Amino acid sequence: MTLSLGFSPCPNDTFIFDALIHHKIDTEGLEFEVFYDDVETLNQKAFRGELDITKLSYHAFAYVADSYVLLDSGSALGFGVGPMLICKDDPEKLRAELAKPNTQLKIGIPGRYTTANFLLGLAFPNALNKQELVFSDIENAVLDGRVDIGLIIHENRFTYQDKGLKKIIDLGDFWEKETGLAIPLGGIVANRTLPLDVQHKINRVLRRSVEFAFSNPKSGLEYIRSHAQEMSEEVMYKHIDLYVNKYSVELGEEGKKAIKLLFDTAAEKNVIPEIKDELFLTGI
């Protein structure tokens, strides 16, 4: 059985999926047609129901929970891993400006339906002047003045200072102080049209792949590097260490609590529609 699978070329995703797509573990007869896209493109594909299995942001998942179910393995949750607002000028002055009711600061964001943009809305609800950019272009957009502030994700949290940029706020820290829970960034979902036994098989195989990666962290080095946009090996593994952890093996009760709180908070603020379907894969 061949299934379409979408995930990003970022090191945390290629690290997780290496063993699965290269058959370093038992895939129980499953084959995968892989699509590599940035997270907002994956979100849009999920809205159209194009893929059998896909990575997507938790913000976007709220809009497709009737079509996709969240797998117990493969998620990116954690502490100290949140998106960051950056600038090239005075960060304290800009942070104060962001809080003003009619702020016109232009903010470069990595996508409307990213969890990063959702957190930005929670922290600074008046910051509405946004421009959607590919995440890897946001630092340059700040540097060349296309935007006043950048909302960065992924490996850019390791590179912005090298370019002379400054941190305004870490939105992951904001969430953690508000809730005491890990920040849910992205998850792996399966199309609900797949038979339940296939959904369970996908989850088993994915967990096996994550566990293999943890046991053999350098096994997929060349594969990870081939998609890592000229990142150094040190930065690649810093990235992996931030986003791949115990929640990637299984969400557990703590991970599920964080996800439910994220959705409950968003629903209270009318940011997402009411979710009537069970979020999590059952019967594991």
Catalytic center residues: 154
CB 228 within 8 A of CB 9: yes
3-state secondary structure of 37: coil
Residue 35's SS3 state is strand
Q: How far is CA 251 from CA 154, 170, 204, 280, in A?
A: 20, 23, 13, 10
The owner of tokens 């996709």 is 68
Tell me how far apart the alpha carbons of residues 232 and 221 are, in angstroms, rounded to a whole number. Answer: 11
| SS3 call for 174 | helix
Q: Give the integer Cα–Cα distance in Å for 25 and 73.
A: 15
* Cα distance between residue 264 and residue 120, in whole Å: 16
Measured CA to CA, the distance from residue 142 to residue 105 in angstroms comes to: 12
Query: What does the longest C-alpha to C-alpha distance in the chain come to?
Result: 57
Per the rule left: phi > 0, alpha: psi between -120 and 50, beta: everything else, 132 is beta
